[in-house]
């Protein structure tokens, strides 16, 4: 079982520090956003989305509350409060034998949270262009 990628992801989240993100991502990583219709392919665009997400999601209330781990993937349920709205979601992360993330999918509920995240992520991505 190769959990180096998962351990590295947890460290990025714990430290709230994005250093090391690029080394953690496969060159062909695919990112599935809860608010963008098409998958985003490649390290550069995935890193851009994840950096924006760090700024939107990772406040003092962010917590992973459940984790299911297999040999090459994990499902991490999270909770966070943003602008007074409770956000519940799931990060689905897959990795390769080299310990690099190959797929990252985010699902969010409820609808009020999806709308909020869409607004905040769009603003963050626009500001970083």
Alpha carbons 119 and 94: distance in angstroms, whole number: 27
Radius of gyration of the CA atoms of the chain, in A? 14
Tens digit of each residue's pLDDT (9 = 90 or more) over 24-82 = 999 999 999 998 889 999 999 999 999 988 988 999 999 999 999 999 999 999 999 99
Alpha carbons 6 and 71: distance in angstroms, whole number: 11
Q: Residue 39, CB half-sphere, CA atoms under 13 Å: how many?
A: 11
Is 2's pLDDT higher than 70?
no
Percent of the chain with pLDDT over 70: 97
pTM over 0.85: yes
Is 105's pLDDT higher than 50?
yes
């Amino acid at each position: 079982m190769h959990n180096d990628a998962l351990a590295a992801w947890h460290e990025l989240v714990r430290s709230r520090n994005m250093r090391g993100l690029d080394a953690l991502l496969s060159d062909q990583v695919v990112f599935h956003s809860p608010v963008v219709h098409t998958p985003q392919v490649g390290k550069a665009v995935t890193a851009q989305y994840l950096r924006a997400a760090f700024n939107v999601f990772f406040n003092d209330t962010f917590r992973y509350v459940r984790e299911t781990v297999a040999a090459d993937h994990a499902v991490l349920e999270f909770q966070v409060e943003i602008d007074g709205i409770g956000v519940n979601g799931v990060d689905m992360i897959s990795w390769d034998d080299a310990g690099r993330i190959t797929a990252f999918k985010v699902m969010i509920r409820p609808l009020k949270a999806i709308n909020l995240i869409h607004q905040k992520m769009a603003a963050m991505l626009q500001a970083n262009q």
